[in-house]
Amino acid sequence: MAYTAQPAGFLADTIQRIYDYTNEPDENPKWTPDKLFPLIRGSYGRCMLDVNGVGQNPIVVRFDITTTATQRTYMLPPNVGQVIAIGKVNSQTGEFYERIIPRTRLSPFMAGVTFEGPLVRFEPIWGVAETLRVLYIPNGDCALHLGTVAEADTTTTSVKINIAPTEGYFDRRPNAYLGSMLRLLSATVSSAAAYPSGYTYYPIQERPITGMVPTSLVATVDTAFDFDPATAITGSAIHTYEIVPFMGDLFQDAIAWDVAAMVNGTEKRYTEKADCMKNRLNQMRMIRQNLSHYNSRSGTLLRSGSFATTRWGWTV
């Protein structure tokens, strides 16, 4: 027979797993989604920081800074985890072509560029109007939410974010969603399920968010969706979407066990807490092993693109 359908949405599915791991009732639970939400969000951040340095191929976010002749410091997005590089952008091609190497603070030529929490500081001041690009790995901080959007507010590469989501909440910090994943889950027309032309189901679309305009709330994704959500469905469609952290599915069970351990500990169920922690550690070990060997083609040490090897150059 067919199994019971999973909860609609990533956040609801994670909460259901926590209920299962803590033997918490679904009806009138003591630990409501409102209480679990900040625990889930904090757990994602910790787990992402734990493994960010392991994988060779994490999602990399590109954030552009427009310098001026007088400004010394510039704000970075709130979800910067690890800065990989900063450099110039070619005004004609848009290519990232020259990297700026930070110097020590004790250098007689000054530090050049330093990263101080949410700020990037130039010493000395950059002095000219140019576009600089910061490449960074996001830290996993994400205000997960599930909401709806009218087809008129979508394109093949963008979705207007709903500031009043059905689940979770909208993160009002500028650029907070860069590097997070946007998923189109389903669509309805006059409250009935609807599918894109040529499909007998709604194919879930998952794309990383590469840009967002704070004033219009339009989030841009890369690459384009498989269909145009604005025109692929007959009638005035309402699409259901969600925003989740990058690599969220890989971490979902680890997060659920982690939060379940916190719940069991708070309820003084210490034996159950210890069991949850063991399961969480096993899951994190599997994640680290997977990410450390994600790129098995060229290995992880002394790769041909490194100056430290004698194999620098073309490789066949």
**pLDDT values of the chain reduced to their tens digit, one per residue, 316 residues:** 667 776 778 999 999 999 999 999 878 899 999 999 999 999 998 888 888 766 666 778 889 999 999 999 999 999 898 888 899 988 788 788 878 878 877 777 787 889 888 899 998 899 899 899 999 888 888 889 999 999 999 999 999 999 999 999 999 999 999 989 999 999 999 999 999 999 999 999 999 999 999 999 999 999 999 999 999 999 999 999 999 988 888 899 999 999 999 999 999 999 999 999 999 999 999 888 887 776 666 655 555 555 555 554 444 3
**Given the structure tokens 């450099």, which residue do they identify?**
87
**Given the structure tokens 């493994």, which residue do they identify?**
51
Cα separations (Å) of 43 from 25, 80, 204?
A: 22, 17, 26
The secondary structure element, H or E, covering residue 240 is strand 238-244
- Tell me, what's the pLDDT at 38? 94
DSSP string for residues in 25-68: -SSS-SS-HHHHHHHHHHHHHHHHHHHTTT-SS---EEEEEE--
Which among 290, 264, 285, 291 has a CA at the least distance from the CA of 275? Answer: 264
d(CA 314, CA 311): 8
**Given the structure tokens 């929490």, which residue do they identify?**
117
CA dihedral 80, 85, 89, 94 (to 10 degrees): -70
d(CA 156, CA 163): 21
d(CA 17, CA 14): 5
153 three-state secondary structure: helix
Rounded to 10°, the helix 270-292/10-22 angle is: 140
Helices (H), the chain: 10-22, 33-51, 248-266, 270-292
Which among 215, 150, 228, 147 has a CA at the least distance from the CA of 183? Answer: 147
163 three-state secondary structure: coil
Full-model pTM? 0.84
The secondary structure element, H or E, covering residue 159 is strand 158-160
Strand extents, DSSP E, 144-264: 145-150, 158-160, 167-168, 181-189, 192-193, 205-213, 218-221, 238-244
User: 261 and 271 in contact (C-beta within 8 Å)?
Assistant: no
Which among 86, 98, 22 has a CA at the least distance from the CA of 261? Answer: 22
Looking at residue 151, the DSSP 8-state letter turns out to be G
- Tell me, what's the pLDDT at 147? 96
